[in-house]
Structure 1
């Protein structure tokens, strides 16, 4: 059976706050654990008033303490924002707290804009070019092979599973060359999904940690008892996508709006449909059918399900329906 996991951006909803978002994250992770989700990931974003996971390792520790078996991790850490030694220490600490349960997905995108990049002392032009070297340096710290001349404590010898993330061909090529699992961000940037998947599989070189390619694809699920209710619930995420694409800034997740998609007009609907093309929106049967069709077409080894909703209980129900659909395939 295709594995299924959960990506949580730890949304701050309109009228809510970060404390409520963190409480919801712990509750959602426990719920996902009970439903058989393989892993729960949060992602590093900065300067986004609707996303509470900026201090990513801290949030992972919070969720890890609230769960007992589900893998917890980052999807991902934007490595050029950090020194590899610091990430080795942070995730070595997490591995000591939650042994055998920690994932570390690595990306090279900024997770921010130019203003935020400056605030975190990042050089966007030079830092990204060092990404492959930084990944290998991080591997060296975990392997404790002495190549860096420094021993990460905690971190040396940690059992942290590394992933390469991406939305272009670069990450696919790097993951294949290093023999690492690869996660493609098709839940919001599906344009190069097929080509990147092919590049990764075709060029994969077995490594000590992975003998065969393992491809994870991002996939949105907005599920409810009926197709109409699911369409309404999905409008919160649709509004957030439109806001960031038109203004460049994220917003707190808004309440659903009936008929929102249609209010955008033909051109707006086309843009939204493209961005969210890797999605299933509907009742249980429609969701099961659309998830099945996506897996059959892509051959994904794992789905990373994203499902941001304004109402927390509706979101939990959506994840239940998605898990039932995955188990029923």
Structure 2
């Protein structure tokens, strides 16, 4: 019986094979015959040998681990993107460390430091709503590590972004409401310090402008678009004159606003129509079902990971933006006849 951790030398002693040959075999070296490899592998398994992956990683200066920072794992969009990231990373032999910033700048800073300390080979990140200063990200990139931004783009130097066309998607949602006869459309916007929400707000304004509708500042209500914000925004919208539609830059705020208005006996969409953004699963099953924008989140995760590996393998860092196509999903919340 062996006591303690099994080493290469234990396998070597058992088989009467030189320890350097055992090491080469376990590292799948072409210098060792298939028959010998199989013999050594079987003995290693029998003895319960485990490779010291940390020592191996330190020797190669690669950990074969990537870090992922997202605002919230509870959001279907981010959970689906992580599935795409993990599938791609697993196929490439990489582990994934997943972190949540909870949309906090301070927490995001600490997570970058943690991932740097854990020597991850690269980071895929969707920045927090509070992030307006990018020094912590630049410090990480200055160490030579690749960083890919997804969903929420970052416009500092030499950045790689994987996003959807937020402007166009937002334009199409607003125009859909206009085509359905709605004239006084309130927009629940995310923080205008964030490029993603800037683009969605610009799309909303562009659709109004195209159809010669006035752009009214009081009809743009800015918040973090959490559940409680949806309720507060709905109360504000009710105090505005003639509001007949609400377009929210995410589904969460749209759904809580809809529930609040229904509690006030306001009929949706007959009195106030709704549209959201991100196609959370609940948006299809609430009553009425919510018109929204579907983002190819799983594909976005895969694309971002493949770009990261491409940069790792070719040692390149480039300024590149990949834009994926979103889809407008029209449901009952935006139809005056409520029979779409």
TM-score, length basis structure 1: 0.24
TM-score, length basis structure 2: 0.24
